[in-house]
């Protein structure tokens, strides 16, 4: 099979079988590194890093050089035409004419998708704001599989900033797809975003059980579990006894502890001024607990003060191995997307892809995420907001760029008002009418004023109940 000319914007762009095939290719390349130096001779990779990076950028560039290719780079927005007001799409088209593949890191969520849509060549997302970081997820999975051979049935704890940590967002979906159970251990106020949880449950099945304060206290003072995701293949008695679930889950220990730093650079002004409860540091004392006896300690790096230096020599510490795995993993990915390597895809169990209808109505809503690429002034000149209808009860739209979901307040249908003013009515999205509107006829509004400005009158169901 060939991945030639494909892009990797989110981890969903690869099937489980394709991921495992890339791992096999990475293994083969790592064993014979010197034999790979002609694979991409004559190929050029454009390295566009508009956020700070050490490991990701250098490992991508090292990977391309190891394959015999060349690298052109831009690493400062202020020194690029983006600083002059050039749109991302124009940048993508230009760079696409210079190179054979683009690796992009950008602070706006969804920016990598825009580059992939306009570049005309394969594009790899090296991190877009707090959205996703799929190649980091590949080397995370690779590290766990190298040490544990399989992911199915493992208990993986995610620790730290789970709100803005894009590495954890990609990893959450991948772990669910491969059948792992996930323990969420967020820093206070930095819990997993609701739209990530919604996608996790609706697309990968399983349950997310929130843990009560009493259960947290009784379970393990060193292990602040906030919620547990259990895959569809796991016993569901935990869902019936959420206050017992922490104790049950921790009884057999944790297979991997994935630590993340606090992403202060993504804090809003309000968040910057908040006092935060000190979060447990992962150090020798913590790892003495029996829960962590066989735990792999992982971290995407860089670390600040959440991971102590005194465990660097511990055989359970994997973070430097993780970083080293980045080169062969990214070599395999570059070679596959450039079409210089083909491989057999193993038959690996994977959840079926979920297809959603697109919202097509006018007026179109605007993504509520202030970091979304679709609402940035330089991009609104050509980008039209795009949403999937991911639920009808409650009505929920998901931005196709940043994947944030939101629930519109009011709905109407182009099919019901028959172009007559007296039947041109809008209803509360919480009313029973919302689920009967066909996707192609759906119109949404966020305010009553917006609906009435477009000529709609309130129905008896504006408040959710018949008046």
CATH architecture of 11-133+323-337: 3-Layer(aba) Sandwich (3.40)
Is pLDDT at 78 greater than 70 in this prediction? Answer: no
User: Residue by residue, what is the 3-state secondary structure of 72-95?
Assistant: EEECCHHHCHHHHCCCHHHHHHHH
The two structure tokens encoding residue 293? 């006896």
What are the φ/ψ torsions at residue 303 (nearest 5 degrees)?
Answer: -100, 160
Residue closest to 410 by CA, chosen among 386, 437, 444: 444
Query: What value does the mean pLDDT of the chain take?
Result: 86
460 against 464, higher pLDDT? 460
| 45-49, 133-137, 351-355, 444-448: least confident range | 351-355
407 against 271, higher pLDDT? 407
Average pLDDT on 317-330 reads 95
What is residue 81's predicted lDDT score, i.e. its pLDDT?
58
What is residue 465's predicted lDDT score, i.e. its pLDDT?
46
CB 325 within 8 A of CB 318: no
What is residue 240's predicted lDDT score, i.e. its pLDDT?
44
What is residue 6's predicted lDDT score, i.e. its pLDDT?
97
Is 135-318 the same fold as 11-133+323-337?
yes
Is pLDDT at 201 greater than 50 in this prediction? Answer: yes
29 against 204, higher pLDDT? 29
Report the C-alpha gap between 61 and 46 in whole angstroms. Answer: 9
Average pLDDT on 46-53 reads 92
Is pLDDT at 238 greater than 90 in this prediction? Answer: no
Average pLDDT on 245-257 reads 73
What is residue 239's predicted lDDT score, i.e. its pLDDT?
45
Which residues, in sequence order, are CB contacts of 207 under 8 Å at separation 6+? Answer: 201, 229, 230, 236, 238, 239
What is residue 375's predicted lDDT score, i.e. its pLDDT?
95
Share of the chain above pLDDT 70, in %: 85
Ordered by start, the domain boundaries in the chain are: 11-133+323-337, 135-318, 378-458
Average pLDDT on 231-252 reads 58
Is pLDDT at 376 greater than 60 in this prediction? Answer: yes
The two structure tokens encoding residue 193? 């975003």
CB 459 within 8 A of CB 427: yes
Is pLDDT at 218 greater than 70 in this prediction? Answer: no
Report the C-alpha gap between 67 and 362 in whole angstroms. Answer: 48
Q: What is the pLDDT of residues 132-190, one digit of tens each?
A: 999 999 999 999 999 999 999 999 999 988 888 888 999 999 999 999 999 998 888 88
Is pLDDT at 248 greater than 90 in this prediction? Answer: no
CATH 3.40.50.1370 fits 135-318, yes or no: yes
For residue 332, what is the enclosing H or E element? Answer: helix 319-337
Which of 48-62, 323-337, 431-445 is most confident?
323-337
Q: What is the pLDDT of residues 276-288, one digit of tens each?
A: 556 778 899 888 8
Confidence of residue 394 (pLDDT cuts 50, 70, 90): confident
Average pLDDT on 397-426 reads 81
Average pLDDT on 348-374 reads 88
What is residue 1's predicted lDDT score, i.e. its pLDDT?
80
For residue 443, what is the enclosing H or E element? Answer: strand 442-445
**What's the pTM?**
0.89
What is residue 214's predicted lDDT score, i.e. its pLDDT?
58
Average pLDDT on 197-226 reads 75
Confidence of residue 466 (pLDDT cuts 50, 70, 90): very low
301 against 68, higher pLDDT? 68
Average pLDDT on 217-246 reads 63
User: First and final CA of the chain: distance in angstroms?
Assistant: 60
What is residue 278's predicted lDDT score, i.e. its pLDDT?
63
Neighbours of 202 (CB within 10 A): 15
Length of the chain equals 467
Share of the chain above pLDDT 90, in %: 53
Report the C-alpha gap between 266 and 244 in whole angstroms. Answer: 35
Confidence of residue 464 (pLDDT cuts 50, 70, 90): very low
CB 225 within 8 A of CB 314: no
Tell me the HSE value of 354 on the side-chain side, using a 13 A CA sphere.
16
CB 123 within 8 A of CB 3: no
Residue closest to 361 by CA, chosen among 433, 436, 441: 441
Q: What is the pLDDT of residues 109-118, one digit of tens each?
A: 999 999 999 9
Is pLDDT at 467 greater than 50 in this prediction? Answer: no
Given the structure tokens 């060349």, which residue do they identify?
70
Is pLDDT at 243 greater than 70 in this prediction? Answer: no
């Amino acid at each position: 099979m060939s991945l030639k000319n494909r892009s990797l914007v989110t981890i969903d762009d690869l099937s489980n079988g394709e991921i495992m095939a890339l791992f096999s290719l990475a293994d083969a390349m790592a064993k014979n590194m010197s034999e790979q130096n002609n694979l991409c001779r004559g190929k050029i990779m454009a390295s566009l890093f508009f956020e700070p990076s050490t490991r990701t950028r250098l490992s991508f560039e090292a990977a391309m050089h190891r394959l015999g290719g060349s690298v052109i780079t831009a690493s400062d927005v202020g020194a690029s035409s983006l600083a002059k007001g050039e749109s991302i799409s124009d940048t993508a088209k230009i760079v696409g004419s210079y190179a054979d593949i683009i690796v992009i890191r950008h602070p706006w969520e969804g920016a990598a998708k825009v580059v992939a849509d306009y570049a005309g060549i394969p594009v790899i997302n090296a991190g877009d704001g707090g959205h996703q970081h799929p190649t980091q997820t590949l080397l995370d999975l690779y590290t766990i599989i190298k040490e544990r051979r399989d992911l199915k049935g493992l208990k993986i704890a995610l620790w730290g900033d789970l709100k803005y940590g894009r590495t954890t967002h990609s990893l959450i979906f991948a772990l669910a797809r491969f059948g792992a159970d996930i323990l969420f251990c967020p820093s206070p106020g930095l819990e997993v975003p609701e739209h990530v949880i919604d996608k996790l449950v609706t697309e990968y099945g399983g349950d997310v059980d929130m843990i009560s304060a009493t259960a947290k206290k009784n379970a393990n003072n060193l292990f602040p579990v906030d919620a547990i995701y259990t895959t569809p293949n796991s016993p569901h008695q935990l869902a019936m006894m959420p206050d017992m679930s922490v104790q049950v889950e921790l009884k057999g220990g944790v297979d991997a502890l994935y630590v993340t730093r606090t992403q202060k650079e993504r804090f809003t002004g309000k968040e910057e001024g908040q006092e935060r409860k000190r979060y447990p540091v992962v150090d020798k004392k913590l790892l003495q607990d029996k829960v962590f006896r066989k735990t792999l300690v992982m971290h995407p790096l860089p670390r600040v003060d959440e991971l102590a230096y005194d465990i660097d020599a511990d055989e359970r510490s994997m973070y430097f191995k993780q970083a080293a795995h980045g080169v062969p993993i990214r070599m395999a990915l570059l070679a596959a997307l450039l079409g210089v390597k083909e491989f057999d895809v193993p038959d690996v169990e994977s959840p079926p892809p979920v297809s959603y209808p697109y919202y097509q109505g006018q007026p179109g809503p605007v993504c509520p995420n202030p970091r979304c690429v679709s609402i940035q002034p330089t991009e609104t000149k050509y980008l039209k907001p795009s949403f999937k209808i991911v639920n009808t009860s409650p009505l929920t739209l998901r931005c196709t760029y940043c994947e944030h979901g939101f629930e519109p307040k009011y709905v109407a249908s182009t099919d019901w008002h028959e172009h007559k003013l007296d039947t041109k009515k809008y209803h509360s999205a919480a009313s029973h009418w919302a689920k009967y509107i066909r996707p192609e006829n759906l119109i949404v509004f966020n305010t009553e004023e917006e609906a009435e400005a477009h000529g709609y009158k309130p129905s008896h169901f504006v408040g959710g109940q018949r008046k």
